[in-house]
Amino acid sequence: MAKRRDGIGHPLDRYRGFLLDIDGVLVRGREAIPGAAEALAALRGHGRVVLLTNNATRSRRGMAARLAEAGFAVAADEVVPSAYVAARFLREKHGPVRFWALGEEGLGEEMTLAGHVPTSPTAAEWVVVGMDRGLTYDKLAQALRAFQSGARFLATNCDATYPTE
């Protein structure tokens, strides 16, 4: 614990780490929230920082790159998107599975990195769903075929509404 000049440790030093949401705390859309990069750097001086997001469109690597574009120095292993959590959950509970992703690139990337195997909807054991800004009726029909073939369902987050910037 670092001591201040008055001999008293900083109040944040009593914590081992900090969990921060990304969207709305560090960035709004593609723009950094003023002062957020400095605050993040200051927190790092007092413990480990883990950045969370229920956004499954990007992988850990992709989210770190997005944050770098906004002016944050962030390593991929500091970022925990819901796609990563979903992939790890399935791995821990069911081992490697055959999946079909209804979502964007980051979801499939995290699933594959966790050892899961992408497949066709009718061969999928699991349909894993995240935000998909390119959602079509064809994709919905493919998901229906997967469910009719016995696939189970996993959502990466339960937002009842579509978040806006």
Helix (H, G, I), strand (E, B) or coil at 117: strand
CA distance 18 to 78: 11
pLDDT at residue number 146? 98
Mean pLDDT in residue range 93-104? 98
Tokens 């960035």 found at: 27
Of residues 145, 58, 67, 139, the one with CA closest to residue 104: 58
Per CATH, 11-81 and 83-155 having the same topology is answered yes
Mean pLDDT in residue range 25-42? 94
pTM here?
0.87
What residues are paired with 49 via a beta bridge?
18
**What are the Cα distances from residue 124, in Å, to 5, 13, 25, 113, 116?**
61, 47, 36, 17, 11
pLDDT at residue number 47? 83
pLDDT at residue number 51? 98
Domain extent listing, the chain: 11-81, 83-155
Q: Of the given ranges (13-22, 28-37, 134-143, 147-156), which has the lowest mean pLDDT?
A: 13-22
**What are the Cα distances from residue 82, in Å, to 74, 76, 138?**
17, 14, 25
CATH topology of domain 11-81: Rossmann fold (3.40.50)
Catalytic residues: 21, 23
CATH number 3.40.50.1000 given to 83-155: yes
Mean pLDDT in residue range 65-80? 96
